[in-house]
Structure formats: C-alpha cells, structure tokens
Amino acid sequence: MTFCLDSVQIKPEKNKEIGNAIILLHGYGGDGNDISMLSLNWKRHLPNTIFICPNGPEKCLVNPSGYQWFDLTQENSTYILQESKKSEEKLKEFIYQIKKEYNLSNKNICLSGFSQGCMMSINLGLTSDEEYTCIVGFSGKIINEKDLESRKKISANILLTHGENDEIVSPNFMLAAKDFFIRNNINNETHLIKNCGHHIPIEASSIALNYISKKFNNS
C-alpha cells in the first residue's frame, strides 16, 4: 500500500506477528528517523509491535532538512490551530491506512510524540471516535484547551513526561494539561524529569516503555 505520509516503519524481528503498533510523531523540524530512535530499546521489550514514524506533511520553514506538523513562524493562535487541524486530518487518513494494512484497531495502537508531535498525539487521541490503547507524550502541551474541550469525544489513558529545565516548551504546560485532564475525567499520569531540558532522556523513555507495556498487556 502507498501511504499518504512518508514514514519509517520498524517491524518485529524474526517475522513475529504484528499485534500492536506505536505511532511516533516527531517534533518541529525533525523527521521519522529522529523519533524512531526510541524503538532501539523499546522493540526488545515489545516483540510483537511495529513502530511507525511518519514525516510531517510539510517541510519545516526554519529547518528545510526537517518537517513540521504545523507552522510556528507566525505567533497567531488561530492560525496555529487551523494548521494543526489540517495535519490532524492527514494523520487520521494515515492511521486509517496503517490499520487497514496491518489489520489493527485503535485498541492495538499507542499514539506517542515529542514536542509538536506530542501536541498532535493529544488532539488525535481525544477527538477520535474510538479509544486508543494510550497516548504518550514528551515535552508537549495542549494546543488550545477551549477547542479540544469542545471536540473531545472519548476518554483516554495518557502519560506525559517533561524536563524541569525545558527552555522551549515550559514544564508549566504539562501541569496545565494535567489540570485539563482531571477536569475532563481523563486518566493521566505525569512525570517531571529533573535536570532535563527539551529532549527525551533515558529516564523518560523507560517510564514510557513501562507504561505502554502495561497498557498493551491489558488491552
């Protein structure tokens, strides 16, 4: 099948049957190769899982070698929300194609992302018609709480981690997201990582792996 987004796909080793999928969404200016590095450790513990890492639909305007889910060159919240919704629709189409190709349903899929990819994962997961296994986000935030609250269709199991020294996306956004989840009866777990900036440290990766493993085992 030809997918609507280019992607890195890492299948289970030794021809193991695909039982689950983790869709990893990169950050602003990154690409599928960047975020696929998470699979190097995770795949040993998730032997029946395929890791799918799409490139954003647009070249990044400030880093032409990378991609973006939405443009950040304009400090206009309405414009940013509109652009993020365009990528939501593209990702919904992509995920539909993935489910069809590998005979999966949302209950077999974890949505995960870093920074801008985390923002997309939250919106995708909570506005879906069918609940995903879980949503796992690193160093992100909710793009627009009022909009998400109006479009939210389902609950979810959400894990967020954030570096306490993040200078790009303030850790205060994780606290705001947690408050949003509590107000909207969404199961959530959050971890503030000490001495960490805007990246995914081993500690956060390990926390996420344990969380995803438990959710897949219970799905």
**Which residue has tokens 């099948």?**
1
Q: What does pTM read for this prediction?
A: 0.97
Q: Element (H or E) spanning 49, and its range?
A: strand 49-54
Measured CA to CA, the distance from residue 146 to residue 158 in angstroms comes to 19
Assign 194 to helix, strand or coil: coil
Among the CATH numbers 3.40.50.1820, 3.30.70.3460, 3.30.565.10, 3.20.20.140, which is that of 7-218?
A: 3.40.50.1820
pLDDT of residue 14: 81
Predicted local confidence at residue 97, as pLDDT: 98
Q: Strand locations in the chain, DSSP E? A: 7-10, 20-25, 49-54, 58-59, 67-68, 109-114, 134-138, 157-163, 187-193
Domain residue limits, the chain = 7-218
pLDDT of residue 75: 87
Distance (Å, rounded) from C-alpha 171 to C-alpha 121? 18
- Tens of pLDDT along the chain (219 residues)? 899 999 999 999 888 999 999 999 999 999 999 999 999 999 999 999 999 999 999 999 899 999 999 999 988 999 999 999 999 999 999 999 999 999 999 999 999 999 999 999 999 999 999 999 999 999 999 999 999 999 999 989 999 999 999 999 999 999 999 999 999 999 999 999 999 999 999 999 999 999 999 999 987
